Amino acid sequence: MTLRKPGLSIGTLENIEVKAGKTRSVGERLFLTIDEGAIAFVRGSVFNAADRSVPNAKVELLKVDTDGSTKKIDSRLTTETGSFAFRLAPDVAKYRVTVKVEGTEVSKDVEIDGAAIYRVALSLAPPAKP
């Protein structure tokens, strides 16, 4: 038996006994690892106005359609070093990465055109002076 899933390694199991009307778990014998050469990564960092990394900032990933409309795909918090990463199918598409921190919002568009690592730096502007 061979199992395939985009973005994961191919898994193969041999000598599996099959009985009519019975189910059998194969999870304990099969572990599929991430095939980093088959997926697209959007990796980046968030920086404040003083060029210091921003931990625990909420970063959102939206897919941008050809008509300009967007659909939220995922979100996560930056690590203690201000970094984030999203794994995507390597299909041609446009995405928008957005961070919102203390009333400041910054976005950058990323065009995916295959399996690769796409890097994004999001720099927050200094707060407006009253």
Give the range with max mean pLDDT: 31-45, 59-73, 91-105: 59-73
SS3 content of the chain, % helix, strand, coil (to 5): 5, 45, 50
Q: Give the pLDDT of residue 9.
A: 62
- Dig out the tokens for 37 from the structure: 């050469």
Residue 6 scores a pLDDT above 70: no
Q: Which amino acid is at 41?
A: F
CATH 2.40.320.10 fits 40-123, yes or no: no
Q: What is the mean pLDDT of the chain?
A: 85
Residue 62 to residue 69: CA distance in whole angstroms: 10
Query: Comparing 90 with 11, which gets the higher pLDDT?
Result: 90
Domain ranges of the chain: 1-38, 40-123
Q: What's the chain's length in residues?
A: 130
